[in-house]
Amino acid sequence: MKVNTGASLGQLSDMDLRLLRVFRSVVDCGGMAAAELDLNIGTSTVSRHIKDLETRLGLTLCRRGRAGFALTAEGERIYAETLRLLAGVDAFRASVDEIHRRMGGELHIAVFDKTASNPQAHIGAAIAQFSQVAPDVSLHLHVAPMNAIERGVIDGQFQVGVIPGHRSSKTLAYAKLFSEAMRLYCGTQHAWFKAQDRKLTWEALRAQPFAGLGYHSPNMELSQHKRLPRSATGYDQESIATLILSGKYLGFLPDHYAESFVRAGRMRAVKPELFHYACDFFSIERRSPQPTRVTRAFQECLRQAHAV
């Protein structure tokens, strides 16, 4: 396997793969010092590995100094290629395990924001069951935005994703798992906090500053259908909650996530019998190549955990 760069790279060795894994960890952790704990090696060793990789590739991958850690333009491209390459290596190892009818290696699962507090989500139970079925598999659990999960599953970075259903891709297979209720909330400083719900309508909501998610999602579909212009944009549930707590915006949140804010008197659900929608969650995996035995085993654990 060869990589085309300005320098003559030649054949990739085990050491090259090790250097690329160090590079991935440094980028994911946001710097060499932060990657020290993840890699269990000293910062000076991490720095030397990055320098060795730069020499090997003939490229400057990152800037480090008082301004902090930052990737160069070349580093951004090499990082993207590194993710694809390492995902391919992991897929190859999983295929070898498949041939030997054993379950080992790594399994990367990505879940959408704020699912742990949903009483209908039994992902933890599925993980517990999977750890008994495949104790030798190293499990990696990621939390990521919806579009990043879809892209990661398609690229092979993640083997399984759990996301709200919002559109279908022919390259992915979907299985429904659970649902959550989304309701409209306002903070204590908002004029609607003490307003009478019976007087509130969708038309009245259109006149209020609204905080919505900035990517294709059930939230965006609802705001488009109900013609709710976004005055502020969030990219996860935490950011929407923060905007609501400011008292300047209304926004939709999962009821299980908003519950702690409601109990503390920091926000309330606004006319929940009108301002609400349901959101179904699905597990996703690539249709091709065929999912590995490990992936199929985890999907079966997900199915059983949610078959109640």
Q: pTM for this structure? A: 0.69
Helix (H) or strand (E) holding 122: none
Residue 189: how many CA atoms within 13 Å on its side-chain side? 8
**For residue 104, what pLDDT is reported?**
73
Low-confidence spans in the chain with pLDDT less than 70: 1-10, 97-103, 308
Q: Which two tokens stand for residue 224?
A: 């488009």
CATH fold for the domain made of 104-308? D-Maltodextrin-Binding Protein; domain 2 (3.40.190)
CATH 3.40.190.290, the chain: domain bounds: 104-308
**For residue 71, what pLDDT is reported?**
92
DSSP 188-238: TTSGGGGS-GGG--HHHHHTS-EEEESSSSHHHHHHHHTT--EEEEESSHH
Class of domain 14-87: mainly alpha
DSSP 27-72: HHHTSHHHHHHHHTS-HHHHHHHHHHHHHHHTS--EE-STT--EE-
**For residue 102, what pLDDT is reported?**
63
**For residue 2, what pLDDT is reported?**
41
CATH 1.10.10.10, the chain: domain bounds: 14-87
**For residue 68, what pLDDT is reported?**
77
Residue 64: how many CA atoms within 13 Å on its side-chain side? 18
